[in-house]
């Protein structure tokens, strides 16, 4: 029997298949994806800033080369993600305009300062670690282009996470001062990393519908718990202390439960009042303005190509 578009879409989701750009999809599904994917893209390019600040201060040539490669990967991730959002009909210019006008979100984590070289370790290990935890679940998200972008991004993030771990390991096993520097960095980054997974499930307005559409496969709190569980043995391997005196192991669920999280701090950052929100936005707008000549040159070249008579 003939089926309407909605039924075909529902059956696709039910069967765990992927929705592709040319498939019919509900408007709200499209809007939710554009929101999430563009926020994710913005996070990647704003996320270049805390580490870019340390490239000129890396402690060796090798460390510098690795850090440059990592920051460049983040730019690349932003580009895959903007492209995935474009397959839904969003325009790159509009998405960037929204970001520059302060109307789009990007991850709360990038509004904290990177104070010392050890922060490069903490960002790679904890921030990329939390990103992987979230993105492994997104490899099975229902929208095909987003899911496929996640597979490649996760591979690159795994390298990022190992380089962060290795920076911290070297510091932790170094002098007393270096060990202290590593501990101080994880003390500052651990809680903000837990906030990357979003508000608690009970206060997450988008979760119910996004789970029903299989855009999200695992809830905010469940991903956060998985991340905490991954951190426990790794903190031990690093010889560092987990900055959560109220962390507890739940015998019933077999999972680690973090102590309370300061959600007021999270909401302040989302409202634009975090430690570095203004600075990150100022730098982003300046980078965009400084790149205007590159966009103009590319557009002029493309125009010349189309104007050239066919051979």
Stretch touching ligand FAQ by CB under 6 A, among 88-96, 103-111, 176-184, 280-288: 103-111
Concatenated DSSP letters for the chain? Answer: ----HHHHHHHHHHTT--B-TTS---HHHHHHHHHHHHHHHHHHHHTHHHHHTTGGG-SSHHHHHHHHHHHHHHHHHHHHHHHHHHTTT--HHHHHHHHHTT-S---GGGGS---STHHHHHIIIIIHHHHHHHHHHHTT-SBHHHHHHHHHHHHHHHHHHHHHHHHHHHHHTS-HHHHHHHHHHHHHHHHHHHHTT-S-GGG-TTHHHHHHTTS--S-HHHHHHHHHHHHHHHHHHHT---S-TT-EEETTTTEEE-----HHHHHHHHTT-STTHHHHHHHHHHHHHHTHHHHHHHHHHHHHHHHSPP-
From residue 177 to residue 216, what is the string marking binding to ligand FAQ with x (rule CB under 6 A)? ------------------xxxxx----xxxx--x-----x
Stretch touching ligand FAQ by CB under 6 A, among 3-11, 23-31, 35-43, 177-185: 35-43
Minimal distance in Å, beta carbon 18 to ligand FAQ?
A: 17
Minimal distance in Å, beta carbon 57 to ligand FAQ?
A: 17
Nearest residue (beta carbon) to ligand FAQ? 47
Minimal distance in Å, beta carbon 141 to ligand FAQ?
A: 9
Assess 49 for contact with ligand FAQ (CB under 6 A): no
Assess 270 for contact with ligand FAQ (CB under 6 A): yes
Stretch touching ligand FAQ by CB under 6 A, among 104-112, 242-250, 252-260, 299-307: 104-112
Minimal distance in Å, beta carbon 65 to ligand FAQ?
A: 17
Assess 128 for contact with ligand FAQ (CB under 6 A): yes
Site residues for ligand FAQ per CB under 6 A: 35-36, 39-40, 43-44, 47, 74, 105, 107-108, 123, 127-128, 131, 134, 195-199, 204-207, 210, 216, 220, 270
């Amino acid at each position: 029997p003939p089926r309407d578009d909605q039924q075909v879409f529902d059956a696709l989701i039910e069967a765990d298949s992927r929705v592709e750009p040319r498939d019919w999809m509900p408007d709200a599904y499209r809007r939710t994806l554009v929101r999430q994917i563009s926020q994710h893209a913005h996070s990647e390019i704003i996320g270049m800033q805390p580490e870019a600040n340390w490239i000129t201060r890396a402690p060796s040539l090798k460390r510098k080369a690795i850090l440059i490669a990592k920051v460049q990967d983040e730019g690349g991730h932003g580009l895959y993600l903007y492209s995935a959002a474009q397959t839904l009909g969003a325009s790159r210019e509009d998405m960037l305009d929204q970001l520059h006008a302060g109307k789009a979100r990007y991850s709360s984590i990038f509004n904290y300062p990177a104070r010392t070289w050890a922060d490069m370790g903490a960002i790679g290990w904890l921030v990329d670690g939390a990103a992987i935890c979230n993105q492994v679940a997104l490899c099975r998200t229902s929208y095909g282009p987003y899911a496929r972008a996640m597979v490649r991004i996760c591979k690159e993030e795994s390298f990022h996470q190992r380089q962060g771990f290795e920076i911290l390991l070297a510091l932790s096993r170094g002098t007393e001062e270096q060990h202290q520097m590593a501990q101080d960095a994880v003390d500052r980054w651990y809680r903000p990393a837990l906030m990357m997974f979003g508000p608690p499930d009970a206060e997450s307005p988008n979760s119910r519908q996004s789970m029903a559409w299989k855009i999200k496969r695992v809830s905010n709190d469940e991903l956060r718990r998985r991340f905490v569980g991954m951190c426990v043995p790794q903190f031990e391997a690093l010889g560092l202390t987990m900055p959560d005196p109220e962390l507890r192991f739940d015998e019933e669920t077999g999972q680690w439960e973090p102590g309370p999280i300061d959600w007021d701090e999270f909401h302040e950052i989302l409202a634009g009042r975090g430690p570095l929100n203004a600075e990150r936005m100022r730098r982003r707008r300046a980078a965009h303005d400084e790149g205007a000549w590159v966009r103009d040159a590319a557009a002029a070249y493309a125009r010349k190509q189309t104007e050239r008579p066919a051979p």
